[in-house]
């Protein structure tokens, strides 16, 4: 049933943005005007975009308002640098280590160690990690955030052979609070809408990485059980129910990207054909929403129709990465073409000049006054953009 509030939402979003523009600080107002009047800039190229984004992530670590070794959640044109964000610092670690290996950057290994040591220091005794930024008022264990930090701990254990204890405690806690169905219904984030979430397949991926480095089949079994549960919520056309932070009828490409990546990683781990088929259903649905110029709407309805007039930039990069992996697996060049167009579009939102707070940074949304991470340059948007561009770079001859 379509409710009146759903019909009114696009209109009210537009009014909200219009009112906000008149009360914004100068830099934020100018950035919004630039995005909407001038549109995208030029493509700096894959290599330049990767280098600049990594440089910004390093500055986000150095300038975190909580000054603890973690990575600042964002730089805001309204409020400046934020506190460190444990969740995304966790999955930034594998990106930093991959770039460090590629470029022989020992200094980045040291940065990753600082991130990991900080994360280990804030782990709850039972093994979980908190939601939100480090000085958020609610300090409670959260399944999703723990799963994302587990990705970093697994990468750290594989690279440094130093994080086995925190990794096992986190993974053991996740399987201890999982329902028999495979779903996680306890210890949900206080910063998202209540209820079960199909994008927790991205938590399952964390367990799969733990299974790899710890050689513990229990972690893999729990991960695959969650993916099986989530696939029970997948429609024939690939769309996932209950797959958003705040609006399950119009999920973000960010959370759809989480769900897709989790299913894809489950296939790469287990090599079960039905998992690849499920990943392709979602990937093909997202393909149907992509414009020829690489513009992917930030929210999508159950028929893969645009439900936003802005782009969730991090979601675009997440989806592009998955398309590239599917091209590697299947050889289907539709995925390669879509990913290249999407990556090029995202790169055109990145400025490689100007102040260090925004140079090389990736916006939460484009235009910057859209509906996700408004007026913020998000650390995870940079991370996923680097991942997608590095994978494209490795497929340059394809």
Output the pLDDT for position 7.
42
Whether residue 1 has pLDDT greater than 70: no
Q: How would residue 124 be classed by pLDDT, with cut points 50, 70 and 90?
A: very high
* Structural domains of the chain, with CATH: 27-394 (1.50.10.10)
**Strand 80-81 vs strand 74-76: parallel, antiparallel, or unpaired?**
antiparallel
Give the percent of the chain with pLDDT over 70.
Answer: 94
Whether residue 18 has pLDDT greater than 90: no
Range in 184-193, 194-203, 375-384 with the lowest mean pLDDT = 184-193
- The angle, 0 to 180 degrees and rounded to 10, between the axes of the packed helices 217-231 and 273-289 is 50
Output the pLDDT for position 320.
98
Whether residue 12 has pLDDT greater than 60: no
Whether residue 222 has pLDDT greater than 80: yes
Structure tokens at 349: 């939102």
Model confidence over 41-65: pLDDT tens digits? Answer: 999 999 999 999 999 999 999 999 9
- The strands making up 74-76's β-sheet, listed across from edge to edge, are 80-81, 74-76, 376-378
Output the pLDDT for position 24.
87
Model confidence over 170-183: pLDDT tens digits? Answer: 999 999 999 999 99
Rounded Cα distance between 257 and 262, Å, is 9
Rounded Cα distance between 305 and 302, Å, is 7
Burial code (b: 16+ CB inside 10 Å, e: under 16) for 363-378 equals bbbbbbbbbbbbbbbb
């Amino acid at each position: 049933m379509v409710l009146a509030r759903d019909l009114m939402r696009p209109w009210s979003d537009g009014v909200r943005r219009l009112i906000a523009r008149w009360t914004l600080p100068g830099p934020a107002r100018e950035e919004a005007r630039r995005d909407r009047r001038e549109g995208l800039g030029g493509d700096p190229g894959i290599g330049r975009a990767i280098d600049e984004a990594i440089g910004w992530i390093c500055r986000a670590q150095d300038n975190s308002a909580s000054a603890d070794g973690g990575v600042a959640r964002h730089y805001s044109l309204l409020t400046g640098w934020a506190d460190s964000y444990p969740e995304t610092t966790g999955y930034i670690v594998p990106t930093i280590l991959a770039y460090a290996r590629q470029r022989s950057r020992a200094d980045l290994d040291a940065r990753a160690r600082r991130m990991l040591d900080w994360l280990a220091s804030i782990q709850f005794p039972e093994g979980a990690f908190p939601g939100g930024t480090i000085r958020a008022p609610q300090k409670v264990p959260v399944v999703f955030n723990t799963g994302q930090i587990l990705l970093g701990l697994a990468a750290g254990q594989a690279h440094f052979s130093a994080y086995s204890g925190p990794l096992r405690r986190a993974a053991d806690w996740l399987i201890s609070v999982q329902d028999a169905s495979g779903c996680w219904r306890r210890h949900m984030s206080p910063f998202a809408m209540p209820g079960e979430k199909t994008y927790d397949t991205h938590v399952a991926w964390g367990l799969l990485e733990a299974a790899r480095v710890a050689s513990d089949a229990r972690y893999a079994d729990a991960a695959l059980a969650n993916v099986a549960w989530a696939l029970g919520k997948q429609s024939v056309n690939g769309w996932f129910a209950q797959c958003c932070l705040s609006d399950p009828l119009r999920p973000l490409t960010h959370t759809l990207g989480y769900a897709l990546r989790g299913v894809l990683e489950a296939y790469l781990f287990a090599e079960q054909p039905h998992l690849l088929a499920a990943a392709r259903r979602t990937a093909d649905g997202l393909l149907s929403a992509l414009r020829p110029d690489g513009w992917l709407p930030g929210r999508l309805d159950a028929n893969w129709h645009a439900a936003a007039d802005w782009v969730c930039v991090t979601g675009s990069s997440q989806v592009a990465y998955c398309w590239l992996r599917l091209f590697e697996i299947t050889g289907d060049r539709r995925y390669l073409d879509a990913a290249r167009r999407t990556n090029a579009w995202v790169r055109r939102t990145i400025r490689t000049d100007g102040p260090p707070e925004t140079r090389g940074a990736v916006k939460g949304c484009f235009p910057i006054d859209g509906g996700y991470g408004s007026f913020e340059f998000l650390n995870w948007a940079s991370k996923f953009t680097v991942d997608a561009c590095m994978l494209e770079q490795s497929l340059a001859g394809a």
